[in-house]
Structure 1
């Protein structure tokens, strides 16, 4: 059940900018808040028990409650900023409290990482942290000063293209670094 809810949140996040763009004429902001808040509440009740997961779910639920309470269309546009903030927190705090997120992922397929790989995964985690910082800042700027169409284009398409580009660049660099071992 937890995986299904996680998939629902992932799909909601991917489709959210388009749902806002197309749905604002048909649905009130409180309805978006109720639907999204329900998914996050289900995640909180069935998801991981670690402090980070609970904190993220609580913050998302608070955002959704504010969205439902104030019922203001401008608040709808802040959700991508919230998600980028979550990701920045996840990656950034892993640098401080360790192990870095990229190292954790690398250890899933290669439990005994050499020191060079550990340094590399730290740099990858820094790169992703910087990405989420810039992505969140740009999403906030678009929320504050750009038309809805620009906000939708960036948050619904361009941001994911940039993530894919960063994944591809990192994969190419990883192949090169692995070749030197």
Structure 2
């Protein structure tokens, strides 16, 4: 129980990473803040080591994100902190893209946790969703990089710590609605085929 609580708290701290950096730099130097954030990253990785196979992006995201923070550690500047969200997006993009070309995709793996006998049409749908997420990571990474290089610290914090999560949640919500529509459409087509054996036979022959 304690392990779960600690894991959740670590996750929340890293989820609020942009705000932690924005506020933290008002009280400590980049060097000490970087040490604290690296400790959080490593602690989360240790706590979640048993589920790395279910969260394939965690290790590369931690490695690339940690590399960005190390940059701030050695330069005693905030640039590495600002590049952390970009690195995490790169890691997510790499994992999702790799799974697209080397199935099963990450989305399919998640789907099979609920339905081990995932039908073929559903597998095709998960591949499309994987591509959508890849596109999102590219766009989000681009905006994150722009805010890191050309915007104020406040704008960077608001986008990467708030707006980006709103966009992620919106995409999840839209995908959920589309998934329900696709499932109902497929069920309707199956029902129509069952009522019309000749159509079902023609579909099989096609």
TM-score normalised by length of structure 1 = 0.88
Query: What RMSD over aligned residues (CA atoms) do the two structures have, in Å?
Result: 2.2
What is the match of residue 131 of structure 1?
A: 136
- If you compute each CA radius of gyration, which structure gives the higher value, 1 or 2? 2
1:7 is aligned to 2:12: no
Runs of 5+ in structure 2 lacking a partner? 187-206
How far apart in 1 are the matches of 2:87 and 2:9? 17
What is the match of residue 90 of structure 1?
A: 95
What is the match of residue 112 of structure 1?
A: 117
Q: Name the CA shift for 1:4/1:55 in 2 (closer, same or farther; >3 Å).
A: farther
How far apart in 1 are the matches of 2:155 and 2:63? 29
How far apart in 2 are the matches of 1:52 and 1:21? 25
Q: Name the CA shift for 1:9/1:137 in 2 (closer, same or farther; >3 Å).
A: farther
Q: Name the CA shift for 1:4/1:63 in 2 (closer, same or farther; >3 Å).
A: farther
Relative CO higher for 1 or 2, CA cutoff 8 Å, sep ≥ 6? 1
Contact 1:81-1:140 at 8 Å conserved across structures: yes
What is the match of residue 28 of structure 2?
A: 27
Bigger mean CA offset, 159-168 vs 1-10: 1-10
Runs of 5+ in structure 1 lacking a partner? none
Q: Which residue of the other structure, out of 101, 105, 108, is the alignment partner of 1:100? A: 105
How far apart in 1 are the matches of 2:6 and 2:66? 15
1:152 is aligned to 2:157: yes
SS at match of 2:16: helix
How far apart in 1 are the matches of 2:99 and 2:20? 32
SS at match of 1:27: coil
Q: Which residue of the other structure, out of 144, 147, 171, is the alignment partner of 1:142? A: 147
How far apart in 1 are the matches of 2:18 and 2:60? 24
1:173 is aligned to 2:178: yes
